[in-house]
Amino acid sequence: MGRNCELNPPVLTRFNAWGDRMDQVNTCNDWKEMKKISAEEGLVAHGYLRNSDKFSRLHQFAKIYLFAPSSGMYSCPLAMLDGAAFVLESLLKDNNNEVLSNAFSRLTSKDCNKFWTSGQWMTEKAGGSDVANATETVAHKQKNGTYKLYGYKWFTSATDADMALTLARVLDESGNAPPGTKGLSLFYLETRKNESKTASGLNGIQILRLKDKLGTRQLPTGELLLDGTVAHLVGEHGKGVRLISGMLTVTRIHNSVWSAASMKRILLLSKDYATKRQAFGTLLCDHPLHIQTLARMEVESRAAFLLTFEVIRLLGVIEVGGGNEMERNLLRLLTPIAKLYTAKQAISVASEGLESFGGAGYLEDTGLPGILRDAQVLSIWEGTTNILALDTLRAIAKSKGQVLNSFFESVNARLSGVTDSGNKDLKSSVAKVSIATGDLRAFINQSSANGHDGLFLAARDFAYSLFRIYSAVLILEHAAWAEATPSDQHAASIWCSQDLSPAANNCRISAYTKKTSVLNRELVYN
């Protein structure tokens, strides 16, 4: 079914035979079936029913991890609807709102006749990273308290969604709105209106075109013109970016799950193929160099899985009981880290995986190229690598460094746990992580002493360091279990043998100065 979704991508019919605007997105039957399966399997509902208490998110995401690589990218609408449910649930805790309550119950329903999906429309033509300055959509207040939205949404992934959360600037009586973040408010809208006078039945929305994309061809990603779309303000005026950030937390976790799941899928295929294909008189699985390549893919996949599911565990704990300060800090810090790093890993593992099939990996009828095409988007949407690296610095600055203290405290506590397990085979790996952690701390102290500029230029390497160190700790913990095998210890040894703290690497310290920025510019443009 997932494969069929790629082979039968959505088609937009803009006009009917009589010239009326239809703006109808036709998706294939398998795509529609995915919606039904998602509802019935509770792929979002489990996270909110909380039948497994603080493990409910783990339960939900374990299912999504299994579903994702075969879902024909249906994980994408699920991610956005989960993000919307997260935002609505937190708002409904303090305010009883019939419209939002109805939407929440639909998003979290296991009844496929009631179940809704949601879009997340943030990106406009002028930019998707700098949302505050790029958003030109405006909102006019109506006498009945609703708003009408006018604007152009440049990327909307679930054009077939039932509802959406979006950003717009509320105009005052003289037609002005504050610029930047302060002027942005969050709106809820339903995409269809029963009383709509237009042939399309849409709520003041025109679907101008579907994007012609490298991958994610299963998804109806469209450009929308909002022309009097009736919408409801969500939360306070001017708090749009902060409110939608809750949504981003959840969708970024979904992105990480997709990354981890996609790596596992290509790895399983590569492993299988290696037991069937012969070269130079032996099966590929008997060529040590080929198996080294697969072993490295395996280690990347494990690290991505462990860190992502640790973030999910934290989310579940916090949603049920609020969590302690360390857990809240770690969730805030590790969410962008997990998203940015696992996305890059997914692209590189998919590429390596295709190569492990030789020429067959390049052929469309194997279905393999789609894995690489789809992986490439993971580092672009939901915040690019650099934007997420900067988000890490935002989290640190906003908490006045507390999130970093929690990080180091947690790393040290967990490393001590590994040491206490008495497993001698892990000793040298533990020592490597301890040294890398110490180096990173020293690097941060030095950057702070030099002013904050250095840390901005180091942001990406710094984020990589956080990911590699925290994953190292998780892989080591796993390898220290009584049930662990020598393979788990070998995986830990491979992971810990890389440069665990690229930001702190001695020859790099001088690489983040203003002078280096100037030289980089020369290098790129001269």
As measured in angstroms, the least distance from the Cβ of 121 to ligand FAD is 5
CA distance 56 to 48: 8
Q: Which of 219, 155, 72, 131 is nearest to 381 (CA)?
A: 155
Among 22, 28, 79, 349, binds ligand UCC (CB under 6 A): 79
Cα 507 from Cα 370, distance rounded (Å): 39
Residue 177 Cβ vs ligand FAD, minimum distance, rounded to whole Å: 19
> Which residue type, as a one-letter code, is found at position 244?
I
Of 198-206, 347-355, 379-387, 493-501, the window that binds ligand UCC (rule: CB under 6 A) is 379-387
Pick the stretch among 66-74, 151-159, 232-240, 447-455 that binds ligand FAD (CB under 6 A): 151-159
Number of residues forming the site for ligand UCC (CB under 6 A):
29
467 forms part of the interface with ligand UCC (CB under 6 A): no
- Taking the C-alpha atoms of residue 20 and residue 202, their distance in angstroms, rounded to an integer, is 13
Burial class (CB in 10 A: 0-12, 13-18, 19+), 286: middle
- Please report whether residue 121 would count as binding ligand FAD according to CB under 6 A: yes
C-alpha dihedral (121, 124, 127, 133), degrees to nearest 10: -90
Does residue 155 touch ligand FAD according to CB under 6 A? yes
Least distance (Å) between residue 455 CB and ligand FAD: 13
Q: Which of 419, 443, 439, 411 is nearest to 499 (CA)?
A: 439
Point out which span in 194-202, 238-246, 287-295, 307-315 binds ligand UCC (CB under 6 A): 238-246
- Min. distance of Cβ 460 from ligand FAD in angstroms? 9
Site membership for ligand UCC, residue 157 (CB under 6 A): yes
| Alpha helix (H) residue ranges in 356-426 | 369-376, 385-398, 402-420
132 binds ligand UCC (CB under 6 A): yes
CB of 97 to ligand FAD, least distance (A): 24
Which of 27, 75, 135, 157 lies at the binding interface for ligand FAD (CB under 6 A)?
Answer: 157
Q: Which does 242 bind (CB under 5 to 8 A by kind): ligand FAD, ligand UCC, none?
A: ligand UCC
Retrieve residue 111's tokens.
Answer: 């009844």
Other beta carbons within 10 Å of 15: 12
Closer Cβ to ligand UCC, 221 or 229, answer by number: 221
Give which of 391, 435, 441 is closest to 415, Cα–Cα. Answer: 435
Going by C-beta distance under 8 Å and a sequence separation of 6 or more, which residues neighbour residue 218? 2, 5, 6, 9, 10, 31, 72, 73, 74
Q: Using CB under 6 A, which of the segments 155-163, 275-283, 315-323, 422-430 binds ligand FAD? A: 155-163
Applying CB under 6 A, which of residues 72, 83, 128, 316 lies at the interface with ligand FAD?
Answer: 128
How many residues touch ligand FAD under the rule CB under 6 A: the total is 19
Least separation, in Å, of the C-beta of 270 and ligand FAD? Answer: 26
**Shortest reach from residue 499's CB to ligand FAD, in Å:** 22
**383 touches ligand UCC (CB under 6 A):** yes
Q: Which residue has the tokens 């030109």?
A: 136
Nearest-approach distance from CB 380 to ligand FAD, in angstroms: 5
CA distance 408 to 86: 29
Does position 234 interact with ligand UCC (CB under 6 A)? The reply is no
Cα–Cα distances in Å, from 395 out to 441, 463, 464?
A: 17, 12, 16
Q: Is 156 in the site for ligand FAD (CB under 6 A)?
A: yes
- Is residue 44 within the footprint of ligand UCC (CB under 6 A)? no
**Nearer Cβ to ligand FAD (248/500):** 248
SS3 390: helix
Query: Least CB distance from residue 250 to ligand FAD, whole Å?
Result: 14
Under the binding rule (CB under 6 A), the answer on residue 122 touching ligand FAD is yes
Q: Judged by CB, which is closer to ligand FAD: 381, or 495? A: 381
Among 50, 141, 193, 213, binds ligand FAD (CB under 6 A): 213
Interface with ligand UCC in residues 179-198 (CB under 6 A): 181
Residues 52-111 that bind ligand FAD (CB under 6 A): none
Q: Which does 139 bind (CB under 5 to 8 A by kind): ligand UCC, ligand FAD, none?
A: none
Got the DSSP string for 221-270? -EEEEEEEEEEEEESSTT-HHHHHHHHHHHHHHHHHHHHHHHHHHHHHHH
Nearer to ligand FAD among residue 183 and residue 220 (C-beta): 220
DSSP element (H, E) containing 523: helix 514-525
Q: Does 248 bind ligand UCC (CB under 6 A)?
A: yes
Task: Pick the closer one to ligand UCC by CB: 61 or 495.
Answer: 61
By the rule CB under 6 A, 221 interacts with ligand FAD: yes
Radius of gyration of the chain (CA): 24
Q: What six digits make up the tokens of 263?
A: 């790596």
Query: Residue 265 and residue 66: Cα distance in Å, rounded?
Result: 9
From ligand UCC, ligand FAD, none, which one binds at residue 156 (CB under 5 to 8 Å depending on kind)? ligand FAD
* Residue 32, token pair as written in the block: 């529609």
| Among 13, 29, 142, 245, interactor with ligand UCC by CB under 6 A | 245
- CA–CA gap between residue 526 and residue 524 (Å, rounded): 6
Is 241 a binding residue for ligand UCC by CB under 6 A? The answer is: yes
Q: Which is nearer to ligand FAD, 128 or 238 (CB)?
A: 128
For residue 501, which of 476, 456, 471 has the smallest C-alpha distance?
471
Count of other CB atoms within 10 angstroms of residue 394? 14
How far is it, in rounded angstroms, from Cα 256 to Cα 383? 12
Binding site for ligand FAD (CB under 6 A): 120-123, 127-129, 155-157, 213, 216, 221, 377, 380-381, 384, 386-387
